[in-house]
Amino acid sequence: MKTTGNTILITGGGSGIGRALAEAFHKAGNEVIIAGRRQGALDEVVAANPGMHAAVLDIEDAAAIAAFAKDLTARFPALDAVIHNAGIMRTEKLIEGGLDTAEHTIATNLLGPIRLNDALLPHLLARPQASIITVSSGLAFLPLAATPTYSATKAAIHAYTMALRHQLKSTNVEVLELAPPYVQTELMGEQQASDPRAMPLAEFIDEVMAIIAQGPANGEILVERVKPLRNAEASGDYHGYFTKFNDAMAH
């Protein structure tokens, strides 16, 4: 993916990694459209970045996604890149039962990107060159026990991305996967934004943009901080690493 001259849609662009990516691509000379549920958050980002665009999208609503894609491609016919970043991350105590968190997480993190990708793919295939970036997580490769459904959706996004890349390998659409580590955002609350165990957001974005510019190996955008999670299965002590990681994150 080239780092400038694109017309990029970034979902979940009102805060956190989505906003930071939007601002980085905007600064690099791309036309950027951010999407999210909260109009106020989108307006704040656009006000701080003149020339950026915004559109409200409820990523859980299948009908809304179809209408959004139709309107977006009409408004921005040069659209040639999408970053599927929207997501939620909530803790679950499975022993207590209840499916509300799991169902919302699956609808947002897994069905949302799949539905939006299905709606936008015909347009992207018609462009001379296009890019799709999914956002999984280091937890796709080593789950966090406190967030079982989140971890499961990110593992599913990784599998979906690999299959999508293989199916599109002879087309003009490049498929990349961004797998963040634990980053200082408010994804799980205000405390995460200052957690010293998490990677500073600006540092993460700088490394991501450099990897994209260089060309990610095997289609995976992996900062150094996420590689222990990505490579845990190959470490020879996956179960030990899983226990050590989850014990550390529980405190």
Residues of the chain falling short of pLDDT 70? none
Tell me the pLDDT tens digit for each residue of 163-175.
999 999 999 999 9
Residue ranges of domains in the chain: 7-249
| Catalytic residue list | 150
Give the pLDDT score at 251: 76
Given CATH 3.40.50.720, say whether it is the number of domain 7-249: yes
Q: What pTM was estimated for this model as a whole?
A: 0.96
Predicted local distance difference test score (pLDDT) of residue 146:
97
pLDDT digits (tens, 9 = 90+) for 43-95: 999 999 999 999 999 999 999 999 999 999 999 999 999 999 999 999 999 99
CA 177 to chain centre: 8
